[in-house]
């Protein structure tokens, strides 16, 4: 018989029942153990020379069970933070689809059933994902999940083949449109200037990819938008003096996504 990835059955009590949220808390300990076992398993199958569908399906099922098992037993902020950490991990080992659906998208489903491709304008963006505004602790996680969705969707399109289909091109254009809307939404908020940098970088990289695939006509208008937004961003960099140089350097080659400094 197949050995289960998860630990033995845990008493169905919330972590708060046992006191402090520390490693000695049996719920936290069991959760951490299941997460580490899962990560070790997925890291191993991600390095296999050929794709192993059965192992991947087993891992996907295990992660689904982990989230369902611990959601009612862990503090919401702890649970959501670890969900996005898991999504970041899966993105890092190039398991983009699993990271998207069992990480970033799963987190966002608590707000709305709409996808990033459905967002029409800034107001729609705010009401769909930020009902309490941008100045909450949860908003930081939401921005992280939205960026993760964009990155995963882009990488999944790149994986489909050397030449994107018309449907794939349209999907990438939808992602570009969403990033533009997100940047417009955060533009008045100085403390979110790091999102302007990341958004500009996403637009640049996706446009560069499409142009390398002989799709320059489709991205012409968005490229102009990108350049005009860079000018606006450069004028709003009081909070991040080094942002202009980092932003303009993105024209010269690939650079890394910027994480906001810790408070």
| Structural domain includes residue 164 | yes
Region 99-123: what's the mean pLDDT? 93
173-187, 190-204, 249-263 — which is least confidently predicted? 249-263
Q: Does a structural domain hold residue 36?
A: yes
Confirm whether 138 is domain-assigned.
Answer: no
Whole-number pLDDT of residue 246: 53
248 in the same domain as 164: yes
The domain boundary residue, chosen from 110, 137, 166: 110
Q: Which domain holds residue 96?
A: 1-110
Which pLDDT does position 255 carry in this prediction? 44
Q: What mean pLDDT is predicted for residues 83-101?
A: 97
pLDDT (tens digit per residue) in 139-171: 999 999 999 999 999 999 998 877 778 888 889
Asked if the structure places residue 98 within a domain, the reply is yes
Mean pLDDT over 107-115 rounds to 90
* Joined tokens for residue 10: 């845990």
List the Cα angle 189/190/193 in 5-degree steps. Answer: 100
Rounded to an integer, what distance in angstroms lies between the CA atom of residue 205 and that of residue 246?
Answer: 14
10 Å Cβ neighbour count for 248? 12
pLDDT at 258: 46
C-alpha closest to that of 28 among 61, 75, 81: 75
Of 110, 139, 168, which marks where a domain is finished? 110
Q: Which residue has the higher pLDDT, 202 or 253?
A: 202
The whole-number average pLDDT for the span 175-197 is: 88
Mark whether 90 and 32 lie in a shared domain. Answer: yes
- 69 and 4 share a domain? yes
* Residue 77 resides in a domain: yes
Exposure on the CB side of residue 250, measured as CA atoms within 13 A:
24
Pair 165, 103 in one domain:
no
Whether 45 and 98 map to the same domain: the answer is yes
Residues 40 and 95 in one domain: yes
Is 108 buried (19+), middle (13-18) or exposed (0-12) by CB count in 10 A?
buried
Residue percentage of the chain with pLDDT more than 90: 45
Residue 133 counted as domain residue: no
What mean pLDDT is reported for the chain? 81
Q: What is the pLDDT of residue 190?
A: 82
95 in the same domain as 170: no
Q: Which residue has the tokens 């069970």?
A: 65
Question: In this structure, are 229 and 166 located in the same domain?
Answer: yes
Q: Could you tell me if 68 and 9 lie in one domain? A: yes
For the chain, give the percent of residues with pLDDT over 70. 72
Identify the pLDDT of residue 98.
Answer: 97
Residue 190 token pair: 């100085």
- The answer to which of 49-53, 112-116, 136-140, 218-222 has the lowest mean pLDDT is 218-222
Q: Is residue 121 scored above 90 in pLDDT? A: yes
Indicate whether 198 and 100 sit together in one domain.
no
CA dihedral sign, ordered 31, 262, 205, 114:
positive
Same domain, 106 and 153: no
Amino acid 187: pLDDT: 85
Of 89, 110, 131, the residue that ends a domain is 110
Residue 94, domain member (yes or no)? yes
Lowest mean pLDDT segment, chosen from 4-18, 37-51, 69-83, 113-127: 4-18
Residue 117 lies in a domain: no
- How many domains is the chain partitioned into structurally? 2
- The pTM score is 0.80
Q: Taking residues 39-49, what's their average pLDDT?
A: 93
Same domain as 154, residue 100: no
């Amino acid at each position: 018989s197949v050995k289960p990835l998860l630990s033995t059955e845990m008493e169905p009590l919330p972590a708060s029942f046992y006191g402090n949220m520390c490693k000695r808390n049996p719920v936290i300990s069991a959760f951490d153990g299941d997460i580490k076992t899962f990560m070790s398993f997925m890291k191993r199958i991600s390095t296999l020379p050929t794709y192993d569908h059965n192992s991947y399906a087993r891992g996907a099922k295990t992660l689904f069970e982990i989230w369902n098992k611990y959601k009612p037993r862990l503090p919401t902020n702890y649970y959501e933070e670890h969900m996005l950490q898991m999504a970041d991990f899966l993105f890092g080992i190039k398991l983009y689809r699993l990271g998207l659906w069992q990480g970033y998208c799963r987190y966002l489903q608590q707000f709305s059933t709409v996808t990033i491709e459905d967002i029409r304008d800034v107001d729609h963006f705010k009401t769909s994902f930020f009902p309490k505004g941008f100045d909450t602790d949860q908003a930081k996680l939401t921005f992280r999940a939205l960026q993760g969705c964009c990155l995963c969707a882009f990488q999944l399109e790149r994986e489909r083949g050397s030449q994107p289909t018309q449907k794939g091109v349209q999907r990438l254009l939808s992602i570009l449109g969403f990033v533009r809307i997100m940047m417009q939404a955060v533009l008045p908020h100085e403390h979110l200037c790091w999102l302007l940098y990341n958004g500009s970088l996403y637009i640049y990289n996706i446009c560069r990819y499409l142009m390398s695939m002989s799709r320059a006509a489709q991205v012409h208008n968005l490229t102009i938008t990108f350049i005009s937004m860079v000018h606006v961003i450069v004028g709003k960099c009081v909070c991040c003096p080094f942002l202009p140089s980092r932003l303009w350097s993105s024209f010269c080659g690939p650079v890394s996504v910027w994480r906001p400094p810790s408070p």
